[in-house]
Structure 1
Amino acid sequence: MTILKLLSVFFLQLLCVHVFLFDGTNAQSLRVGFYNSTCPSFEEIVRNTTARLISRAPSLAPALLRMHFHDCFVRGCDGSVLINSTSGNQAEKDAIPNQSLRGFQVIDAVKTAVENICPSLVSCADILALVARDAVTLMNGPSWRVPLGRRDGRVSRSSEALANLPPPSANITQLKASFRSKGLSDRELAILSGGHTIGISHCSSISNRLYNFTGQGDTDPSLDPNYVVHLKRKCSPTDTTSIIEMDPGSARTFDTSYYTLVRKRRGLFEADAALLNDNATRNYVLRQANSGGSNFFNDFAASMVKMGRIGVITGNRGEIRRICSAIN
């Protein structure tokens, strides 16, 4: 590695540390009911618009939850994942991990509805946090009170998405390091992974796991062999378009069956299977799988609130975007 590359890596690491150091102070500025006096109908507008759009396309609910996660893990929860690329900058949404994100039209529609009532008051970052909550609730999941007051960021770089988002192939060491770098515990890693109880993926995401795990034409031995047969029926080695449910049978219902699948070695991604390779995460998986979901909804709600505080911008920093896809 050249000196220039070393300096670049050091600068990025320093930047991440700098952002994280400000996280605690800014997160304390968030509060439930932040817009009560300036835009009292805000949360109702978000809820009604989100419900209307998800009723037409329920598969957008898990996509919007995933979008909030991808936003918060890169530069904090600042709406930077919503920004379009320009001729001079490739934004986060065009990074490889984000090219499969869906639901931007929902955020845009909610933003338009809010702007019509309360112009230039509500951040896109706050809208995304609320939409993610409402999407989970609409799938029969928990609800929670979302602390608000985030401001929108002005920077969005695809390289930072690649550096900060754990891939589906991540092992437990990588996952723990990624979550700990954002101030989230190993237990919260297991809890937030439970979001995989809703949603779909593409065969291309697990092709290597099924057909060429180590480069020798083999299958990941951590997968239940009977499940491998099932997945191979759905996904040929060259299939890049077919979709598969992450939680077969209840992919549109927020519940704890994800943990039962992981316990049976039927988690779709390597990152799901990895939860069994650590005491803290494995214990949580087994407890939820064996107890029928005791406290999972409360755990998930609390973890989402904590995740929603990562690296937030508050006060006079950042901006309130007029449209979510472009910096003012």
Structure 2
Amino acid sequence: MKIAAAYIHAIPGDITANLNQTLTLLQQLDKEGIGFVLFPELSITGYATAKQDIALALLQEEAVLQQLTGFSKSSNLSFAVGYPQQHNEQFFIAHYLFTKGKIAGIHQKSHLGPNEKSTFSEGDELSVFQTGPLKIGMQLCFETHFPEISYAQARQGANLLAMAFASPNETATEKSERFKRYLCARAYDNACYVMACNLSGSTARGAHLPGLAMIIDPKGNILAETQKTGSGYCVADFSTEKLNRIFQSKMAWFNHFKRDQFLNDACKKNPNTALCLSSKWSFTRVNSYFSDFASLVFEHFLSSTQNRELFLQDQNKFYD
């Protein structure tokens, strides 16, 4: 099966234009015989965090989902796009998976960036969605920085980690190099394909969004990438045979050997497992999903004042 990581040049608030760009690109990729396409975070609305912008977008939610469902019914490919969601009084950053004329899955962002928390709520589920041979674990931008999420999805059977970004600032080349520093490790450590795409254009606050896309194989190798200006996409083959070779090898499937209980017990010996940097940001949600092991490592890293200051500077730099 061929898979594609794609992005559009999104205009914040111009849902009609963004939807038309998406459908045009989907039509082209359908003709190319692509099996699955991933689009960036909040791709249909453009990236915005103001409550009034989200409320206006939700007025068009039903019509937008109907159009996307209609296209899905008439095409052979599956695809995932970003659109906000509302449950009762809570707003969520969500990603929708469409296949065979239906919404096959919805992922709500579980870990929010600092500037998203005043508008959005955090989702409480990490699911894996299947379409054909693909078992997809979706992650949205900030979520990709928590290795436990990839591990949890891989343990649920995910063979493809679909990572959708709306990460501002940097040039496309700088962002691509930063992504490669940790996304290749997510693929290699979990024996999963990884596909990533970043929204192009600007945020509602005017921050630059450099469009890019990449696909990584389960050994951490870059299979395809693009940094084309405007909209763009890259395509690669998804091979179940390559995955099977890893699963059947003696050493390459690392998660098979992980001693979860041992790591959990080791962490319980330390009473200071709940990590909270300050009122500005908290990592305790990591502990609510997974083992405390990674939190302990990170707590040690942040015990240095210099490291802590660098980390907080990084948050301000990369998250609008």
When normalised by structure 1's length, the TM-score is 0.27
Q: Point out the structure with the larger strand share.
A: 2
TM-score, length-normalised on structure 2? 0.27
Which structure is higher in helix share? 1
